[in-house]
Structure 1
Amino acid sequence: MERLKQAVSLIESGNFEKGLEELKEVRKEADHEGLYDLSNIYYSLGLIEDSRDVVEELLIHYPKEGELLVQAAECYVDLEQEQDAIAALNKIDANDAAYPPALLLLADLYQTEGLEEVAEQKLLEAKRISPDEPIIDFGLGEFYLTQGHHLKAVPYYESVLGTKGELANENIELRLAEALSGSGQFEEALTFYEKGLENGREINALFGYGFTALQISEYRKAINAFNELKDLDPQYSTLYPYLARAYEEEGATTEAIQTLVQGIKVDEFNEELYLQASRLSYKTHDNKSGEQYLRELLAINPTHIEAAKTLATFLRTEERYEDIIDLLNNIEEGDQSDPYLDWSAATAYAQMEEYKDAIKRYENAYTYFKNDPIFLEEYGLFLIEEGRREEAVEAFKLALKLDPTLVHLEEEILRFGEETFNEE
């Protein structure tokens, strides 16, 4: 034991090579207790293979010793020998004091392999054996949180609040805040975020705090949190659309747009940033910028239907019908279409007197918009131009039924209905 201490002193004083040589000599003459200590020292130095070799040597003499099997499993995990780790842990007897820690390690391993149900069973078994063990409650909270089962995680985190010992360095308040927020308990979550952030500023927690504040209209708190996060890590691109939304809700539209511009510089492929920037530009009557953001988005993702629909709608208001057709030709593939785009295309083709294409698009759109009085009126007027007056009258009647304020259609129904009758 004295020689082991000397070897450790050599390593701690910087004489690493000589210390390691001394450890090799210790291994040759150490008893079993000394080998156990040596294994721990190797592990603490990051010499995992040496630690594993010593533990395996001890397991020859004590093949059922739970503590050794757990130590071996930890080495196997670090060496990415997961199956060996599972095999070692499964050898531990249920009555062994090391069995609950083994179950926790098994749960981690099974979860890593995607066997979530097995992992949960191991954790719950550990809970049954040691119902008052904080590390097990913490493990269950962590498991459910990572699985997205936020509500299940809450009571386990609550039970270990204020726990010292093994959990002294864990920020339980922030874990609980995330679980509460994820389960929709935003008011309570905000309180624990504030407590947890007093203990330490974590960038993911700042994002969670800002997001949670946003859900309950605490816009100023959200803005402060997201701006602090931005100062700490400007590359945290997820924050920008939420910060912009908080600014918008506060009525600070200029700051919202500036935030989105900053976000696009950080992440030029974040489609949500372009959509928001376009919407706010149109909102402030900066139509040129609104169109530009949509076109930039469509350059990144030509099949982005939402961007295409928004741009097509704007182009309709501008009566830029050729631009609508150019837009749709660039984004539509094969027989795929969208009813809103069909309507825009139908309007454009009709205005350009390309009636064959127009009727096809109107018929496609009709299936979706047959209960939309505005569409029905436009469709009816087009049908009249095509000489399909009877169908037009039916479209007008349905539009009037859906929206009785369209009283001008009564005259159209009477006029074209009468003309159809006279022709017959």
Structure 2
Amino acid sequence: MSKLADAIELVENGEPEKGLQYIKEIKAQCTDDEKYELAESYLKWGLVEEAKEIVQELLFLYPDEGDLLILMAEILIDMDEEEEAISFLEDISETDAVYVEALILQADLYQMQGLHEVSEQKLLIAKRKMPKESILDFALAELYSSQGEYKKSISYYESVLSEEEIVAGVNVNARLAESLSTMGEFEASLPYFQKAISKGEDINTLFNYGFTSLQAGYHITAIETFSRLKELDPEYLSLYLHLAKAYEQEEMIKESYETVSEGILIDNLNKELHFYAGKLAIKLGDSLSIEKHLREAIAIDPGYIEAIITINKFFINEQRYEDVVECLQEVMNYGEYDPQFEWDLAHAKNKLEEYSDALNHYRLAYTSFKETEDFLREYGYFLLEDGHRDDAISIFKDLLKIDPTNYEIEELILNLE
């Protein structure tokens, strides 16, 4: 073993000070090849200035040596000097054995700078030089995928898979599955997800497999996959909502509610979990839980319109009209608004016999719901009962335009006229 090898071994085996001191003593005696090895070691240890100094010395002697230019570029990248790194890479001759490696490195740098077309150009040049090199197919697939060009990425991932399944530590089956899934090709992606997880249960791949299974209608597969993910990482919060949805699709409402409740224990400030728990509680007929979860969702986000509308629908069904008014006045004080609020307030005020307020809210709601049959029917009968006969006739005529076969309304109009 050489003196340099002895010194490197000291550094890498727990005696860095002793090893680095020994390197200082012997560096002048090193051959050029050993200096290159030392520069690589310095870079690996994070001693970039020391590495740069050695490579500069070697480049003075061998200015066109591709390996040295590549190493200098890597050092400069570590020093956040990307532009200078690119200039060294561009100095590498097309005839150099490392030319393709230099193109790949340039492509990475240009992609980091957001120059995706230039990055693509470098990779395509490299691909023409080495058409059967799967690392280039993989690099192109990754580039296109990062830009949302999944259709392009898929063909390159497929090309890689004809040669190998793991590239640079990345599971190519998982990448291809995710590209297909993102394009909505859920069925086509599932076999690739299965192959991917057979190589290792990466939690993100498991989540994507579960999500895609749910989208494709394979609810049992989704349940099994999300359940396995929960075993591996119970704090992977995103799984709980989707697992609950899979249970709900299988009419397993109790299990769905229990799943959401588990998620809430992990993140009590997750408004979507509270909202979904409230909706499930409606199916379970659990009034206390309905109100509790929906109120929690609104407390977390006073502008959560869907939750506000849902809790008011619950209050209306329970004939709790004062609560409808109180809830809507509170959220509207926060500056939140939805046309449904006007309809709900009109309905509640009518039931509370506050007819003048009810009429105002019905009029405001009319703009948004003038083509909604249920609203027109309710509004028309309110006007009729409140003594606004002509206005009621007009509203009932609007209703009849939407459904000319509504003979009950047609007869009512005839009687009123």
Counterpart check, 1:139 vs 2:139: yes
Structure 1 pair 85/52, CA: closer, same or farther in 2 (3 Å)?
same
Q: Is the Cα contact below 8 Å between 1:190 and 1:212 reproduced in 2?
A: yes
Structure 1 pair 329/64, CA: closer, same or farther in 2 (3 Å)?
farther
Corresponding residue for residue 375 of structure 1: 375
**After alignment, is 32-41 or 371-380 more displaced?**
32-41
Shift of 1:368: 1.9
**After alignment, is 231-240 or 327-336 more displaced?**
327-336
Taking the aligned partners of 1:266 and 1:36, their CA distance within structure 2 comes to 52
Q: Is the Cα contact below 8 Å between 1:278 and 1:291 reproduced in 2?
A: yes
Q: Is the Cα contact below 8 Å between 1:374 and 1:399 reproduced in 2?
A: no
Corresponding residue for residue 173 of structure 1: 173
Shift of 1:146: 2.8
Cα-to-partner distance string for 1:143-200 (whole Å, 9 max, x where unaligned): 2223333222211111122646993744222222222222233233221222221211
Corresponding residue for residue 129 of structure 1: 129
Corresponding residue for residue 253 of structure 2: 253
Structure 1, unaligned runs of 5 or more: 418-424
TM-score, length-normalised on structure 1?
A: 0.90
Taking the aligned partners of 1:175 and 1:384, their CA distance within structure 2 comes to 63
Shift of 1:376: 0.8
Corresponding residue for residue 101 of structure 2: 101
Shift of 1:241: 0.9
Shift of 1:371: 1.3
Q: Give the total of aligned pairs.
A: 417
Structure 2, unaligned runs of 5 or more: none
Corresponding residue for residue 294 of structure 2: 294
Shift of 1:63: 3.9
Shift of 1:125: 3.0
Corresponding residue for residue 89 of structure 1: 89
**After alignment, is 81-90 or 228-237 more displaced?**
81-90
Taking the aligned partners of 2:90 and 2:205, their CA distance within structure 1 comes to 37
TM-score, length-normalised on structure 2?
A: 0.91
What is the letter of the counterpart of residue 297 of structure 2? L
Taking the aligned partners of 2:346 and 2:92, their CA distance within structure 1 comes to 72
Identity %: 45
Shift of 1:302: 0.1
Superposition RMSD in Å:
2.5
Corresponding residue for residue 7 of structure 1: 7
Corresponding residue for residue 303 of structure 1: 303
Shift of 1:335: 7.0
**After alignment, is 96-105 or 312-321 more displaced?**
96-105
Corresponding residue for residue 41 of structure 2: 41
Shift of 1:213: 1.6
**Structure 2 counterpart SS, 1:80:** coil
What is the letter of the counterpart of residue 280 of structure 2? L
Shift of 1:289: 1.1
Shift of 1:242: 0.9
Q: Is the Cα contact below 8 Å between 1:73 and 1:86 reproduced in 2?
A: yes
Shift of 1:136: 0.9
Cα-to-partner distance string for 1:112-168 (whole Å, 9 max, x where unaligned): 233333333332332233222111111112222233332222111111226469937
Q: Is the Cα contact below 8 Å between 1:135 and 1:166 reproduced in 2?
A: no
Taking the aligned partners of 2:342 and 2:53, their CA distance within structure 1 comes to 70
Task: State the 4+ residue runs in structure 1 displaced beyond 6 angstroms.
Answer: none
Structure 1 pair 200/124, CA: closer, same or farther in 2 (3 Å)?
same
Counterpart check, 1:314 vs 2:314: yes
**After alignment, is 352-361 or 297-306 more displaced?**
352-361
